[in-house]
Amino acid sequence: MVQFPAGAATPASIVDALNALAGQPPRVRSRGRASFAEGRCVRGTYIPSDRAAEITRSQSFTKPSRVLARFSVSGGDSKVADTDGGVLRGFSFRLGGEDHRSDMLLQSAPVHFARTLDQMLAYLKARMPGPSGKPNMKKVKAFSAANPETLHQANYIAALPLPGSFAGTTYWGVHAFPATSSKGETRFIKFKVAPVGGDVTLTGDQARAKSADFLYDDLKNRIAKGDVRLNVMALLDRPDDPVMDVTIRWPDEDARETVWLGTIVITGVEADEACDASIFNPATLAEGIAHPPDEIFAARRAAYVISLGRRR
């Protein structure tokens, strides 16, 4: 487990900063999620492939199971418009039974916006609105110039067309997970969830014609037709791949070898309470998938619990 230096940023201070950035007054408990506040809860099933055991002996990924999942849009504002092209789309899902449950959190960019917890807190503070209600752009630019790796995520998002469907978006896990196969061999993997049928994107004109919550309407329509399927993939590591820095990608990540672990089939919409009553806790991983070694993952494990406690 990563230890945070004395006096450094803490998971609690990150949650405070996220709440403040979303407009929560200081010292007031947040009733919503600190991030990815806007979302829709769904249910489905997971069907493993015959190659899953080559990568992990985790029964979450090698056995069929029910799935609870949540599609979301990043940020602490639960009213963020689906037409906002500057924010991430998220996909969290829970596989397995009570004795072999795993919670996975993925997003529509393959990198995080900060390498360390201190850098993440500084990033958020640089973007806090001032008396005018807007952030000081000189401060933002100065921070970005001194920390260019914090722009990798935003640059990736900006280069893509607007996602046209929750069910037609590719989602990435930014962390490197140690995975142990059925033969006892361990290697690092990254998770990728790709829509069966490919990504669905919109042109500028198409986006302007959409409503603020069009992603949910699209999701309901696709579920009614029974065509929401997403493949769970494992990207395989190579020697010297960076596993501690979540702001950078592995070399040739888009072209490297992947293994199909299984398919998630979304079969229905759930009430929001089904996903809001607890959390998709990244620390919950069935044996066969271990915790990533980076500092951001360690912070997430604590921050999600803190955020849930405040919501309650």
What whole-number distance in Å separates Cα of residue 177 and Cα of residue 188? 5
What whole-number distance in Å separates Cα of residue 30 and Cα of residue 81? 20
DSSP string, 201-241: EE-HHHHHTS-TTHHHHHHHHHHHHT--EEEEEEEEP-TT-
**Which of 115, 123, 120, 174 is CA-nearest to residue 145?**
123
pTM: 0.91
Residue 2: band (very low, low, confident or very high) from pLDDT cuts 50, 70, 90: very low
How high is the mean pLDDT of the chain? 90
What is the CB neighbour count within 10 angstroms for residue 269?
Answer: 16
φ, ψ of residue 222 in degrees (nearest 5): -70, -40
Q: Is residue 66 a contact partner of residue 45, using CB atoms and an 8 Å limit?
A: yes
266 versus 307: which is more confidently predicted? 266
310 versus 147: which is more confidently predicted? 147
Cα 288 to chain centroid distance, Å, stands at 21
Handedness of CA 165, 166, 171, 174 (dihedral sign): positive
Q: What is the pLDDT of residues 172-227, one digit of tens each?
A: 999 999 999 999 999 999 999 999 999 999 998 999 999 999 999 999 999 999 88
What domains lie within the chain, and their CATH numbers?
A: 37-118+160-294 (2.40.180.10)
Query: Any idea which residue has 């959390």 for tokens?
Result: 279
Is the pLDDT at 7 greater than 80, yes or no?
no
What whole-number distance in Å separates Cα of residue 113 and Cα of residue 151? 7
Q: What is the pLDDT of residues 71-127, one digit of tens each?
A: 999 877 777 888 888 899 999 999 998 899 999 999 999 999 999 999 999 999 999
Report the range of poorest mean pLDDT among 68-72, 169-173, 299-303.
Answer: 299-303
What pLDDT sits at residue 304? 76
Report the range of poorest mean pLDDT among 10-19, 21-30, 50-59, 236-245.
Answer: 21-30
Helices (H) and strands (E) in the chain, counts: 10, 11
Kind and range of the H or E run holding 164: none
What pLDDT sits at residue 156? 97
